[in-house]
Structure 1
Amino acid sequence: MKHLSAVNKYFWKYRYRFFLGIFFVLLSNYFAVLAPQITGYVVNAVQQQLPGAKTPTARPVNDGLVNTFIHWVNGANFSFTGLVAICSITILLLAVLRGVLMFFMRQTIIVMSRHIEYDQKNEIFRHYQLLDTSFYKTHSTGDLMSRMTEDVSRVRMYTGPAVMYLINLISLIGFCVVSMLRKDAMLTLYVLAPLPILAITIYWVNSIINRKSEKIQALLASLTTNAQESYSGIRVIKSFVQEKAMMGFFQKNSESYKKNAIGLAKVEAIYFPSMALMIGISTLVTIFMGGMQALEDPTKVGLVVEFVIYINMLTFPVSAIGWTASMIQRAAASQKRLNEFLDTEPQIKNEVIAVDEEKVSGDIHFDNVSFTYPHTGIQAIQDFSLTIRKGQKVLVIGKTGSGKSTLAQLLLRFYDPVAGEITIGNKPLKELPLRSLREQISYVQQDVFLFSDSVKDNISFGLQEPAALEMVEEAAVFASVHREIQGFSKGYDTMIGERGVTLSGGQKQRISIARALIKNPEIIVFDDCLSAVDAKTEFEIISNLYRFLHDKTAIIITHRIFSSFKFDKIIVLENGSLIESGTHEELMARNGYYTELYRLQLTDMKEAGHKEEA
């Protein structure tokens, strides 16, 4: 239950609905326990009409409202038929009144739970977006989705039905037991004697349910992850003809989930038979012990009838103890999983309070920066120093795994360096607001991601305000994708499939470039974003970028050398260290790694040209 304390803030937020719902619950159950007392009065009144009826020696103990009603009925001198009729109508009215109050009970508490579900999902999604890149590298998408859907739904069952039924059963049991004790304390003790056994059974079963619920939720998260990865990688699965293997893997996980879910259902099945057994025993005890008393004192027949009605009234709330306890246990297990993520603090966050509108300068300085990935222990950058002046164009090249992409991620503060410091405009990155920093830097990632939205909305994604079509088209022209977009069925309103599956690799890369250019940023980083375009298109894009980037700071990360683009500085990385730095002419004169790569690229281009001529 301690895990569920995290939702108490929502109960307080919707306290008016919550307390109003409690009021309706108490009021409906109060009127419910009046009906057995009126029934007992009617039975005794009927008995008094029988020949040789014995006059009661003691006045029955009833609720004040019932005593007022009986006093009125006795004073009205109804006939026997009229007495039965007026009492029947009164019992019917009490039932209708209770039904109306129960309607309002659901309209307050259940509706409150829907508001809480809405708020909780928003809180979780908001927190997910605050978490940094390293978190997402160590947690699966399926698990994140499962916690936000299945776990939140189970918590809602606690904040709504479970709370409502818990208050309902406590109040109804309380009203019934108090009424029974006022009538006959000894008979009440006999009737309620089986209930402690029921309580022990509930406690034992709940402990098992709690353990099984946690395991089932973890298995469900694994199953969701399996399905999500299969859908995302369907082309790979089909191309390698692994449908059968993936189906077998899914069936294995699904079988494990099914077995545990069935096991939980079997455990829960103990509840209702045990409830029925205990209620049945209580009813038999009531009839037996009450019948013994009625044989000695016939005026207690009404009391026996009243107690039987009370026991039947207790059937649902007592049986609901197991169901409610099960919902609470499941909700506690789910909230525990939610708390694990909600209590996770992002490692990358604003260190100081700063003004969001603060402009960043194009001057960038890496000072002895080192970085090791926390989840793998791989050192990606080691003692790296570099100064980039405002407006300079820098080319970063190196072998795969040399740390090129890591530089870009450090610059956008997806990670913080373990040693050294990065500054922009002589200001450390940690002193710049994250929002301001990332709004003014455009990053074209190596792994292109497009949303299931229109081409226009994908290009204008990074803008705070809706973009005019002219702005979108201008960015697309610079990215050399405008003509192809015009050829789509609906032009810029064409819907892109999930992750851009309806587009070619080159089209996705160029749309992502347009998305970066439309922001008109101070700094722009291209991370190997032209790997899927042909040489002619690459030359066209580079020419357009040269015009667009004339007054901007640009970092272009690639495996290839763009001979048509004049860079102010070219740096070569190897194993996270800077091994060469300078202009094209300076590096060619050194006859090092850059020279070797340049000559190799020229050779490949000549061979490709000969093949085209052939």
Structure 2
Amino acid sequence: MKELAYLNKFFLKYKWQLLPGVVFVIISNFFAVIPAQIIRIAFDLVNENIAIYRLFNGFDKQDLILDIFGSSLLLFGGLVILLAIIRGLFLFFMRQTIILTSRHIEFDLKNEIYQHYQKLSLAFYRRNNTGDLMNRVTEDVSRVRMYVGPAIMYTINTAVLFILIIIAMVNVNLKLAIYSLLPLPLLAITIYYVNSIINHKSEKIQRRLSTLSSFVQETFSGIRVIKSYVKEETLKKGFEVESEDYKTESLALVKVQAFFYPIMLLMVGLSTIITIYIGGLQVMDGKISAGNIAEFIVYVNQLTFPVTSLGWVTSLIQRAAASQKRINEFLKTEPEITNPNPNPIDIKGAIKFKNVSFIYPDTGIKAIKNISFEINKGELLAIIGRTGSGKSTIANLIMRMYDVDKGEISIDNQNIKHINLEAYRSKTGFVPQEVFLFSDTIGRNIAFGLDELDHLKVEEAAKNAAVYKNIMAFDKKFETYIGERGITLSGGQKQRISIARAIIKEPEILIFDDCLSAVDTKTEEEILNNLGKVMKGKTSIIIAHRVSTIKNADKILVLDNGEIAEQGNHDELMNKKGLYFDLYEKQLLEEQQLS
């Protein structure tokens, strides 16, 4: 239960909704206990009236006795029905308070998890797969809701009913009450033993479900590749294996529960047998009436559902505890990147790297080593190098997706760790290497960085990104709905929409992380010319593989194995006849061969 203690703050928040629910539980159970006493009176009345009826055998008063007897039974029957209706009314109020509150708690918990996910750093998402993250905010939260709603409701209901029935039993006959409830300690021991098994198996089921969700999510995301390589059957077999593992774990839990419920029903049935036997002896001794046996049997049967529900409630609580434990693991995860300074800042765009080194925490790869360079406001910096040389790492560090291990990054002569991160990122346009578009219209994808949709700005950004003509060729133009991750668009169109999304913010710093690889040379030149106008007086960083893309940059960094091999402008680097010169010559030769 220590994992579920996290939910206590929600119970305090909604205490004024929960407390009436508890009151309704008590009242409903009060009206549940009274009918047994009415049945006892009616049962004794039947015995007495039969004796009186026989006593007046042969007299004309028998019909009067029969009428009074029938009217009394109708009255008692009507009272039982009336009490059942009143109890049902309070049960309705109970569900309207407790179950409704559980939905509010579910809503709050989902929002809290989602907001916490938003705060976590990029490294967290590299360590955890999407399917598992989704499962914790959906399936796990749903199981927790079953605890804060039905489980708590039935637990309170069972506890109150037990107390009221035991008090009623003891008031009638202590000995019969003890014997009737004798099987319950054995039931408690069974529950205690099975609890640990249910908890263990519930945790395994949740882990299997996360693995299964991750497998399905990854399959659907990569469906184009799967179809291209004709791997449908292979993936189908993989899904069957994962699904089989989940089924095996689920069946193992069901087997435990299947053993649990008959045992509980046996205990309840045993209580009924003991009640009739001991009660019969008590009647013969004249200590109780036959009606008391009927009353006790009603009490025992009233305990049947609460006792049998103990297994179900126990299962709900254990599964909720397992789910909440998984949720708590993420809620206790602290973001590596925090925003220490809430004060607004005015970004100019000067960037300085001083002896910066960085190792990816999840892989241990040393991406860059002792790098130093400086960009002045309004300059265009280009970064080029072979795959894996650390180009994208520099872009991520400038965006402060990660913090450096050694050295310092300064923005306008302030350490990047000490400035308002949200304000800084809002003034920075970033086009990542892996373009991501949302399942929405083209217009809203471009306007993603704005507070509200401005059609004129959207169109202007599309023109500057050289994608306006492509968009206008669609039937619905900017209202064209694109599929998940922009699957309905070509690679070049996705890159240009992503560029438009970055420049519509009118950023002070613009970072292109190799985002022109899917466009042709002519379109690339058009985009760069437009960006020259848009980013005039502002800082731009272009990461590229093609020398033709960056030759007009104010400063070029040539990276090799995480270090700066050369730096300077195009002419200076060509005169050095080093690594940059070799790259330029090779690419020039390739272009000549293609032409």
| TM bucket normalised to smaller | over 0.9
Give, in whole Å, the separation in 2 of the partners of 1:182 and 1:124.
Answer: 51
Contact kept, 8 Å, 2:382 with 2:550, in 1: the verdict is no
Q: CA deviation at 1:566?
A: 2.3
Amino acid across the alignment from 1:578: I
Distance 1:168 1:563, change over 3 A: closer
Within-5 A mapping of 1:141-156: 141-156=130-145
Q: CA deviation at 1:281?
A: 0.6
Q: Quote the residue 1:206 is aligned against.
A: 195
Q: Quote the residue 1:293 is aligned against.
A: 282
Q: Does 1:577 align with 2:563?
A: yes
Give, in whole Å, the separation in 1 of the partners of 2:574 and 2:245.
Answer: 62
Q: Quote the residue 1:169 is aligned against.
A: 158
Within-5 A mapping of 1:192-591: 192-297=181-286, 300-350=289-339, 352-355=340-343, 357-463=344-450, 465-562=451-548, 566-591=552-577
Q: Which of 82, 92, 96 matches 1:103?
A: 92
Give, in whole Å, the separation in 2 of the partners of 1:576 and 1:361.
Answer: 28
Amino acid across the alignment from 1:235: R
Give, in whole Å, the separation in 2 of the partners of 1:189 and 1:79.
Answer: 37
Distance 1:298 1:345, change over 3 A: closer
Q: CA deviation at 1:283?
A: 0.4
Q: Does 1:132 align with 2:118?
A: no
Q: CA deviation at 1:457?
A: 0.5
Q: Quote the residue 1:93 is aligned against.
A: 82
Contact kept, 8 Å, 2:282 with 2:288, in 1: the verdict is no
Give, in whole Å, the separation in 2 of the partners of 1:563 and 1:474.
Answer: 23
Q: Quote the residue 2:61 is aligned against.
A: none
Q: Does 1:42 align with 2:42?
A: yes
Give, in whole Å, the separation in 2 of the partners of 1:168 and 1:481.
Answer: 64
Contact kept, 8 Å, 1:546 with 1:565, in 2: the verdict is no
Q: Structure 1: where are the runs of 5+ without partners?
A: 54-77, 610-614
SS for the counterpart of 1:499 is: helix
Amino acid across the alignment from 2:458: V
Q: Structure 2: where are the runs of 5+ without partners?
A: 54-66
CA deviations on 1:394-426 (whole Å, 9 max, x unpaired) are: 111111111010001001110000011111011
Q: CA deviation at 1:52?
A: 7.6
SS for the counterpart of 1:173 is: helix
TM-score normalised by L of structure 1: 0.93
Distance 1:298 1:171, change over 3 A: closer
SS for the counterpart of 1:488 is: coil
SS for the counterpart of 1:270 is: helix
Distance 1:133 1:440, change over 3 A: same
Q: CA deviation at 1:583?
A: 1.2
SS for the counterpart of 1:2 is: coil
Contact kept, 8 Å, 1:198 with 1:278, in 2: the verdict is yes
Amino acid across the alignment from 1:508: K
Amino acid across the alignment from 2:240: Q
Percent sequence identity over aligned pairs: 51
Q: CA deviation at 1:88?
A: 2.1
Q: Quote the residue 1:67 is aligned against.
A: none
Q: CA deviation at 1:51?
A: 3.1
Amino acid across the alignment from 1:311: V
Contact kept, 8 Å, 1:442 with 1:521, in 2: the verdict is yes
Give, in whole Å, the separation in 2 of the partners of 1:563 and 1:378.
Answer: 28
- Comparing 357-366 with 41-50, greater Cα deviation is found at 41-50
Give, in whole Å, the separation in 2 of the partners of 1:148 and 1:170.
Answer: 31
Contact kept, 8 Å, 1:542 with 1:565, in 2: the verdict is no
Give, in whole Å, the separation in 1 of the partners of 2:341 and 2:382.
Answer: 34
Give, in whole Å, the separation in 2 of the partners of 1:407 and 1:564.
Answer: 17
Give, in whole Å, the separation in 2 of the partners of 1:473 and 1:220.
Answer: 45
Contact kept, 8 Å, 2:542 with 2:550, in 1: the verdict is no
SS for the counterpart of 2:430 is: strand
Contact kept, 8 Å, 2:352 with 2:409, in 1: the verdict is yes
Q: CA deviation at 1:296?
A: 2.7
Amino acid across the alignment from 1:51: A
Contact kept, 8 Å, 1:44 with 1:299, in 2: the verdict is no
Contact kept, 8 Å, 2:551 with 2:570, in 1: the verdict is no
Give, in whole Å, the separation in 2 of the partners of 1:322 and 1:558.
Answer: 62
Contact kept, 8 Å, 2:131 with 2:214, in 1: the verdict is yes
Q: CA deviation at 1:565?
A: 5.7
Distance 1:51 1:549, change over 3 A: closer
Give, in whole Å, the separation in 2 of the partners of 1:563 and 1:129.
Answer: 35
Contact kept, 8 Å, 2:544 with 2:550, in 1: the verdict is no
CA deviations on 1:18-47 (whole Å, 9 max, x unpaired) are: 111101001100111111112212222333
Give, in whole Å, the separation in 2 of the partners of 1:564 and 1:239.
Answer: 34
Give, in whole Å, the separation in 2 of the partners of 1:281 and 1:563.
Answer: 86
Q: Does 1:14 align with 2:14?
A: yes
Amino acid across the alignment from 2:445: N
Q: CA deviation at 1:373?
A: 0.4
CA deviations on 1:267-315 (whole Å, 9 max, x unpaired) are: 1111221121111110011111111111232861111111011001111
Amino acid across the alignment from 1:14: Y
CA RMSD of aligned residues (A): 1.4
Q: CA deviation at 1:564?
A: 7.6
Amino acid across the alignment from 2:569: T
Amino acid across the alignment from 2:170: L
Contact kept, 8 Å, 2:382 with 2:557, in 1: the verdict is yes
SS for the counterpart of 2:377 is: coil
Q: Quote the residue 1:607 is aligned against.
A: 593
SS for the counterpart of 2:333 is: coil
Contact kept, 8 Å, 1:18 with 1:112, in 2: the verdict is yes
Give, in whole Å, the separation in 2 of the partners of 1:602 and 1:312.
Answer: 90
The number of aligned residues is 582
Give, in whole Å, the separation in 2 of the partners of 1:535 and 1:358.
Answer: 38
Contact kept, 8 Å, 2:165 with 2:299, in 1: the verdict is yes
CA deviations on 1:500-538 (whole Å, 9 max, x unpaired) are: 110000000000000001000000000000101111111
Amino acid across the alignment from 2:589: T
Q: Quote the residue 2:70 is aligned against.
A: 81
CA deviations on 1:369-410 (whole Å, 9 max, x unpaired) are: 110001111111111111100000011111111101000100
